Amino acid sequence: MLLCKFAPIVVYSLRQDSMKIEDLLENIEDHDHLSSNEETPLRADAFALSDAEKIESIKKDVHHILETLGMDMTDDSLKGTPNRVAKMFVQEIFGGLRPDKKPSASTFDNKYKYGEMLVEKNIVVYSTCEHHLLPIVGRAHVAYISNGSVVGLSKMNRIVDYYAKRPQVQERLNIQIVRELQKVLNTDDVACVIDAKHLCVNSRGIRDIESSTVTGEFGGKFKEAGIRREFLDYIKMDTKF
C-alpha cells in the first residue's frame, strides 16, 4: 500500500530500532493513502454557501462534537472554541479550496537566458491530512527549467501554500504543485519533492515521531536520470530511485 499510482516514490524512513515494519505497514493501510484523482474531490456546490454561512454551520458542528464528548460548553475557556475552529477551517487551514485564492499566474521573460535548472528549496509546508484532519508539516523542494518565461521566486512558495491549505494527501499535493507550475511556466520541465511529517503517524496510532514521508513528481526533462540527479544533489537528498 506504500505505492500510489501518481507518485514515483513514497518512503517512510524508520530511525527507531524498536519499530516493527509490520506495525508500520498496518498503520499505513489503515491510513489508506491511495487517492483516486489528482483533483481535490470537491462537490459542484462547494461554494454555494458564503464563508460566513460556512463558519456559522461549522461552529454548530464543533460545539456538538465537544458537547458529545462531555465538555461543559458554558466554561469560559471553551465558549469561544467553536467559532475559533470554524473560522480557522474556512479562512486559514482550508482557505486554499477557494479558486479565487489561487496565486496569480504572472510570469516574466527570461531576460538572462538562464537555461539551467532553478531550484527553490526548503519551502515550508503546512497542510492537513484529509483522513484524520491532523497536520502535515514539512518541506517542499521545487525546480524548473525555463522555457522562455520565469516566475518570481515567492510565487513558488505561494503555490505550495495554496494547495497545502486543503484537506490533503501528500501525493496529491505534490502533483497539484507540479501541474500548476507546468501551466504557469508553459513547460513540462518541473519537479517537486516533499518531505513531511504526518501527525496522524507521529502523534497517534503507531506514534512514530521520527518517520517522515517523501514523495516526488518529475515532469519533462526531470524524468531523465542525470537531470533528476542534479536536482536531488541540489536539495541534498540521498533517496534512491
Of 31 and 63, nearer to Zn ion (C-beta) is: 31
Question: Is 132 near Zn ion (CB under 5 A)?
Answer: yes
Give the DSSP letter string of the chain: ----SS-SEEEE----TT--HHHHHHHHHHHT---S-SS----TTTTSS-HHHHHHHHHHHHHHHHHHTT--TTSHHHHTHHHHHHHIIIIIITGGGSGGGSPP---EE-TT---SEEEEEEEEEEEEETTT--EEEEEEEEEEE-SSEE--HHHHHHHHHHHHSSEE-HHHHHHHHHHHHHHHHT-S-EEEEEEEEEHHHHTSTT--SS--EEEEEE-GGGGSHHHHHHHHHHTT-----
91 catalytically annotated: no
Q: Shortest approach of Zn ion to residue 33 CB, angstroms?
A: 8
Taking CB under 5 A as the rule, does residue 137 contact Zn ion? no
The C-alpha atoms of residue 229 and residue 237 are separated, in whole angstroms, by: 10
Q: Which stretch binds Zn ion (CB under 5 A): 3-11, 32-40, 126-134, 162-170?
A: 126-134
Non-local CB neighbours of 94 within 8 Å, separated by 6+ positions: 128, 165, 166, 167
Q: Does 150 bind Zn ion (CB under 5 A)?
A: no
| Residue 12 CB, nearest approach to Zn ion (Å) | 13
Q: Among residue numbers 58 through 97, which ones bind Zn ion (CB under 5 A)?
A: none
To Zn ion, the closest distance from the beta carbon of 133 in angstroms equals 8
Determine the distance from the C-alpha atom of residue 113 to the mean position of all C-alpha atoms in its chain, rounded to a whole number. Answer: 32
From the CB of 31, what's the least distance to Zn ion, in Å? 5
Q: What residue number has its CB nearest to Zn ion? A: 200
**Residue 33 vs 228, nearer CB to Zn ion:** 33
Catalytic residue among 26, 56, 130, 230: 130
Closest separation in Å from C-beta 136 to Zn ion? 8
129 contributes a contact to Zn ion by CB under 5 A: yes
200 catalytic per annotation: yes
63 is catalytic: no
Among 24, 145, 200, 232, binds Zn ion (CB under 5 A): 200
Q: Catalytic residue, from 170, 180, 192, 217: name it.
A: 170
130 is catalytic: yes
Binding site for Zn ion (CB under 5 A): 129, 131-132, 200
Catalytic residues: 129-132, 170, 198, 200
